[in-house]
Amino acid sequence: MRIAIASDHAAIDLKAELRDWMIEQGHEVADLGPETTDSVDYPDYGYKLASVVADGTAERGVALCGSGIGISIAVNRNPACRSALVSEPLSAELARSHNDANVIAMGARLTGSDMAKACLEAFLSTDFLGDRHQRRVDKLSNPEM
């Protein structure tokens, strides 16, 4: 799977660990930055991540910041993206199966490395169920429906 990952300065270590883990799992991973712990603005990286998921360059995205909240909000500004902030695997699984989430967001200050990997594994291995959920997902990108 082609996966893009981005963070802010608060999540740089978790980003590197998850990037390496996904590569070990056989995924193609694009690290969209940043590369250092110098202070950056999470919306810039959330918008960059949303752009590559929306245009199909990446099939899924991983968005990280201190809490996961800010970068998730930024990603969700793009109508083609459905970012779900999760902190445990069941939420990640339901975000995929019911909401067709194409981006997972987590907080590096709130979610440990092992739990983040478990969430990511659930997110990457779960398929969207479609059926009755499709109508609802369609409304997420088109509120006028």
Residue 70 assigned as binding residue: yes
Residue 136 assigned as binding residue: yes
Distance CA 104, CA 59 (A): 12
Tally the domains of the chain: 1
- Tell me whether residue 133 is one of the annotated catalytic residues: no
Structure confidence at residue 139 as a pLDDT band (50, 70, 90): confident
Cβ atoms 80, 141 nearer than 8 A: yes
Structure tokens at 16: 């590197």
pLDDT of residue 145: 67
Catalytic residue among 65, 81, 119, 133: 65
- Tell me whether residue 119 is one of the annotated catalytic residues: no
Residue 135 assigned as binding residue: no
Q: Which pTM was predicted?
A: 0.95
Residue 67 assigned as binding residue: yes
pLDDT of residue 129: 84
Structure tokens at 127: 């398929």
Catalytic residue among 81, 98, 119, 133: 98
**Residue 14 pLDDT greater than 70, yes or no:** yes
129: containing domain: 2-141
How confident is the model over 37-95, as pLDDT tens digits?
Answer: 999 999 999 999 999 999 999 999 999 999 999 999 999 999 999 999 999 999 999 99
pLDDT of residue 141: 78
Instruction: Output the domain CATH number for residue 85.
Output: 3.40.1400.10
Cβ atoms 36, 93 nearer than 8 A: no
